[in-house]
């Protein structure tokens, strides 16, 4: 165990940030969590919750006081709108004496990520996870309501990663030596099709789940109906219809960095079985 350090986690109420928080706490570190709304944020006991907004970098000044490490996201609003304030955030972090920074790569160009990479006064690590296992939560309503998953490109292979493992890699990089200047692609331990994932969910839920393959046009219509903007839909079609090699190649980053094997989708499914077996409120109304 390394000495206790205090780390500021941004995006702390989000899918990955929550896991960064949990993994830091599990390693005995002190966590300060940034949120735009401290009154409503729910975070584990012992976490110091601070209010601030990454689009207004000077609001981070009190939050940065006394921290040795900083976990950053690259977006500042709905649909992951890229942050324009990266250089100022880094300037403030340097002034506060932050020594280690992790950045959750957003898949596209980022002023914040550029500023981090250009900063030789901190040990920075860029976290480049592939598809999150948590994306399967989008299937929850369909499974609960009708026992169906409706997806396009069902044969695509994905090395999807447990978000807890992204958190674990971040926690190590933020608190231990040897991870500065690194870009870590982070994957799960196996390649799975959509059908493989549905089968594993069905097994842990103890019920049948039908996989209905959508055409690209049907998928676009489904995502539009769910309110996704066209650029996000275009991104999903490209990512799922033409998954880049990095998204379908297993690498051993999790085990190398954390010393523990990457968690499987079967483990993830077991952890979330309750959500997928909840009673459909519409059926019982």
Ligand X SMILES: NC(=O)c1ccc[n+]([C@@H]2O[C@H](COP(=O)([O-])OP(=O)(O)OC[C@H]3O[C@@H](n4cnc5c(N)ncnc54)[C@H](OP(=O)(O)O)[C@@H]3O)[C@@H](O)[C@H]2O)c1
Contact positions toward ligand X, by CB under 6 A? 10-17, 34-37, 41, 53-55, 73-77, 80, 104, 106-107, 129, 131-132, 135
Nearer to ligand X, 53 or 119 (CB): 53
Among candidates 125, 116, 93, 95, which has minimal Cα distance to 8?
93
Least distance between ligand X and beta carbon 211 (Å)? 19
Residue 118 burial (CB < 10 Å; 0-12/13-18/19+)?
exposed
Nearer to ligand X, 53 or 271 (CB): 53
**3-state class (DSSP) for residue 125:** strand
| CB atoms near residue 188 (< 10 Å) | 27
Nearer to ligand X, 55 or 146 (CB): 55
Least distance between ligand X and beta carbon 20 (Å)? 9
Residue of minimal CB distance from ligand X? Answer: 14
The CA–CA distances, whole Å, from 112 to 35, 162, 177, 269 equal: 18, 25, 23, 34
Least distance between ligand X and beta carbon 86 (Å)? 12
Nearer to ligand X, 10 or 175 (CB): 10
Rg (CA), the chain: 19
Nearer to ligand X, 137 or 273 (CB): 137
- C-alpha dihedral over 146, 149, 150, 156, to 10 degrees? -170
Which parts of 57-193 fold into alpha helices (H)?
61-64, 86-96, 111-117, 140-146, 163-175
Nearer to ligand X, 61 or 210 (CB): 61
Least distance between ligand X and beta carbon 71 (Å)? 11
Least distance between ligand X and beta carbon 225 (Å)? 20
Q: Can you say how many angstroms the Cα of residue 244 is from the centroid of all Cα atoms in its chain?
A: 19
Least distance between ligand X and beta carbon 1 (Å)? 27
CB 176 within 8 A of CB 25: no
């Amino acid at each position: 165990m390394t000495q206790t350090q205090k780390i500021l986690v941004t995006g702390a109420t989000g899918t990955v940030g929550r896991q960064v928080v949990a993994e830091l706490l599990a390693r005995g570190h002190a966590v300060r969590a940034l949120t735009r709304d401290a009154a409503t944020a729910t975070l584990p006991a012992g976490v110091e919750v601070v209010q601030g907004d990454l689009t207004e970098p000077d609001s981070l000044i009190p939050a940065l006081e006394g921290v040795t490490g900083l976990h950053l996201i690259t977006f500042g609003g709905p649909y992951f709108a890229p942050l324009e304030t990266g250089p100022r955030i880094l300037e403030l972090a340097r002034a506060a004496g932050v020594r280690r920074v992790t950045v959750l790569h957003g898949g596209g160009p980022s002023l914040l990520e550029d500023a981090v990479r250009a900063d030789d006064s901190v040990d920075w690590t860029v976290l480049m996870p592939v598809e999150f296992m948590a994306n399967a939560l989008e299937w929850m309503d369909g499974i609960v309501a009708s026992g169906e998953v409706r997806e396009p490109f069902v044969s695509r292979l994905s090395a999807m990663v447990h978000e807890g493992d992204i958190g674990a890699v971040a926690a190590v990089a933020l608190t231990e030596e040897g991870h500065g200047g690194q870009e870590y692609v982070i994957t799960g331990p196996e390649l799975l099709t959509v059908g493989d994932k549905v089968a594993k969910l069905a097994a842990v839920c103890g019920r049948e789940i039908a996989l209905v393959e959508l055409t690209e046009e049907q998928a676009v219509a489904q995502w539009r109906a769910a309110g996704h903007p066209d650029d996000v839909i275009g991104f999903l079609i490209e990512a799922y219809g033409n998954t880049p090699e990095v998204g379908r190649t297993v690498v051993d980053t999790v085990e190398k960095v954390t010393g523990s094997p990457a968690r499987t989708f079967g483990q993830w499914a077991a952890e979330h079985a309750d959500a997928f077996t909840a009673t459909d409120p519409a059926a019982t109304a």
